[in-house]
Amino acid sequence: MKFLHRITSGKYAIHSTSHQESDPMNIQKFRPFNILSCLLMAILPTAALADQALDKSREINKSVVEQIVDAQVTLAKGPYKGLRTNHTKGIVVSGTFTPAATASTLTKAAHLQDTPSKVTVRFSNAGGVPTIEDTNPGANPRGIAIRFELPDGSITDIVSLSVNAFPVSTPEAFLAFLNARIATTADSPKPSPVEKMIAETPSLQRFIAIPKPFPVSFASLNYHGINAFQFTNAKGESHHIRYRIEPLNGQEFLTPEQVATATPDYLFDELPRRLEAGTVKFRLLAQVAEKDDVIIDPTVIWPEERKLVDLGVLHLQAPVADNAAAEKALAFNPLILLDGIAPSDDPVLLARPGAYAVSVSRRMAP
């Protein structure tokens, strides 16, 4: 919104007598300057107040997603020029995806039919600190973002986490949680703002209770799509699904003793070595919702017994040549979708592209 500030001027009449002796010091000729000076003295603080009001208005009128990005920057003690706002520390690798024959039973999306596609995959630590240690509990949950590039040039993305739920069910609640963390300091009275919000929010309590062990590798960890999508096949049959991305060799975690002795960048050092030794493979799965499953709330975990459909295998082969350049150029978006896949009405899912767009615009700013 653009605001215009105007100073409306009127006519100032200067009344004087006709006799010079009534103005012995000839003050009359200085009176216009006195008026101008007074006017400027009035205008300057008014302009300053107007600027403050403008700044305040801009803050009030910021979208929720922009406020979320601002809060994430504050928590990370940023901004960090040219870098992502969240999941800032990452590594990018390349490979291919081979669809499974069963994928087409769920969706007609082109990347899940017969033709393999190129993939670019980014693994990351949580949080907005680019130097966060891989052994820091704040680096959990880990992230994976996958870009599929089809032979015709079309693309589609999947963005997932190493936990199977989100802490809250709306963008507004997530902003409130971030602000509660910002408001909580070492000397906050008990209960602190964040403790109070956790006590009042069962989904936060459930999220905190989810185990978040330290993986041996980015390649030895399951990842979950916390948001639901609608898959539609060539027959017009539709189902809601959530993604799962599971390493073919299974999960593997460090012991507490191993975490204590691990280096700050152990995950980022390990993955290139693993890829040099051979291809890393993940299976992409769709967990299919049943009739009464909650579709629009990412805090709700679907039962483990829900049907899993094989969508195909990711074959990761090598780190990209220039990680920094790839990090800056890549902008993943879970709503870049192909025909046969549609978003659910999950408000967290629908807000994610907006937050990513704010982050990207700042990252690309000169």
Structural domain including 144 reads 63-165+210-363
Quick one: 139 and 38 in the same domain? no
Instruction: Report whether pLDDT(124) > 70.
Output: yes
Quick one: 77 and 132 in the same domain? yes
Rg (C-alpha) for the chain, rounded Å, is 28
Higher pLDDT, 24 or 210: 210
Asked if 66 contacts 73 with a C-beta cutoff of 8 angstroms, the reply is no
Angle value at C-alpha 192, between 186 and 197, nearest 5 degrees: 135
Instruction: Report whether pLDDT(17) > 80.
Output: no
In a domain, 52, yes or no: yes
The crossing angle, in degrees rounded to 10, of helices 347-363 and 64-75 is 60
**Alpha-carbon distance values, 188 to 77, 181, 185, 220, 274 (Å):** 19, 11, 5, 39, 45
Quick one: 118 and 233 in the same domain? yes
Beta bridge partners of 90: 124
Tell me which of 7, 37, 59 is where a domain ends: 59
Instruction: Report whether pLDDT(36) > 60.
Output: no
Please give the tally of structural domains in the chain.
Answer: 2
CB neighbours of residue 24 within 10 Å: 7
Average pLDDT of the residues in 70-85? 95
Give SS3 for 176.
helix
Give SS3 for 85.
coil
Average pLDDT of the residues in 203-231? 98
Instruction: Report whether pLDDT(35) > 80.
Output: no
pLDDT of residue 61: 73
CATH number, position 287: 2.40.180.10
User: Token pair 């919104």 is at which residue?
Assistant: 1
pLDDT of residue 60: 58
**Alpha-carbon distance values, 340 to 113, 231, 235 (Å):** 11, 6, 11
Quick one: 50 and 68 in the same domain? no
The tally of CA atoms less than 13 A away on the side-chain side of residue 277 is 8
Confidence of residue 13 (pLDDT cuts 50, 70, 90): very low
In a domain, 16, yes or no: no
Rounded CA gap, 218 and 222, in Å? 9
Give SS3 for 71.
helix
Higher pLDDT, 55 or 120: 120
pLDDT tens column, 273-323: 999 999 999 999 999 999 999 999 999 999 999 999 999 999 999 999 999
Quick one: 50 and 134 in the same domain? no
Q: Tell me 253's DSSP state.
A: B
Concatenate the DSSP letters of all residues of 261-272 into one string: HS-TTHHHHHHH
Average pLDDT of the residues in 333-342? 97
pLDDT of residue 2: 34
Quick one: 88 and 51 in the same domain? no
Quick one: 278 and 341 in the same domain? yes
Asked if 70 contacts 62 with a C-beta cutoff of 8 angstroms, the reply is yes
pLDDT tens column, 181-209: 999 999 999 999 999 999 999 999 999 99
Confidence of residue 59 (pLDDT cuts 50, 70, 90): low
pLDDT of residue 75: 97
Quick one: 98 and 158 in the same domain? yes
Asked if 164 contacts 287 with a C-beta cutoff of 8 angstroms, the reply is no
Average pLDDT of the residues in 93-100? 98
Judged by average pLDDT, the poorest of 120-124, 235-239, 327-331 is 327-331
Angle value at C-alpha 232, between 111 and 159, nearest 5 degrees: 50
